[in-house]
Amino acid sequence: MKLFYFLFLFTSFTVFAQYEYDVSEKFPFGKANPEAPEQIKDYEAMIGECNCKSLTRNQDGTWSEGEDMIWRWKYILNGMAVQDETLKADGGHSGSIRQYIADSSRWYVHWFSSKTPTSTFPIWEGNKKENGNIVLYSEQKAPNGADGFFRLTFYDISKSGYKWIGEWVDKTESVVFPTWKIDCVRK
């Protein structure tokens, strides 16, 4: 009986230790795993929940009135990756799984949405810059067929919130056309 009890405790402790950085009652948004690349902390100030206002550009070039949303961030995969999800007032939700791959020295972000389910997730890649901004790119042609990228930038990042902008840019980034922006304040 003592051996059974010991094995049960050992197995329970081992299983718990395998997931000690996951979401838990004590850490509702998980924790960064110290074995992860140090870049796992690039998103540290965003971990948790923010109330946000999402604005998109209308066809006539003006900005929409905006939509309220919650942007929730957490560490996943036992603290080795980051997941975010947006919970929008209109019932459309989206999210991303963010993994830093040390071999290529960059973040890879796989985006998904309840409004546009797909069998192949769009991917952005990029890094945190010296100025503290996180900049990600995905190749995308402009409506006129010009080659370029859809560039996502997190900026003004602090413990009290952050801002985000989505812009189409040409290959030289000299032509910039913002199409979406989000301002977030910590709950």
Give the mean pLDDT per block of 10 residues along the chain (187 residues): 45 57 93 96 96 94 94 96 94 94 96 89 95 97 93 97 97 95 95
pLDDT score, position 131:
97
Phi/psi at 4 (5° precision): -60, -45
pLDDT score, position 90:
87
pLDDT score, position 8:
42
Long-range contacts of 151-160 (CB under 8 A, 24+ apart): 152/124, 152/126, 154/46, 157/45, 157/46, 157/132, 157/133, 158/45, 159/45, 159/186, 160/185, 160/186
Helix (H, G, I), strand (E, B) or coil at 142: coil
pLDDT score, position 15:
46
pLDDT score, position 19:
83
What pTM did the predictor assign?
0.87
pLDDT score, position 11:
43
CATH code, domain with 44: 2.40.128.20
Number of domains in the chain: 1
Q: Which of 134, 28, 26 is nearest to 72 (CA)?
A: 28
What is the span of the domain harbouring residue 152?
2-186
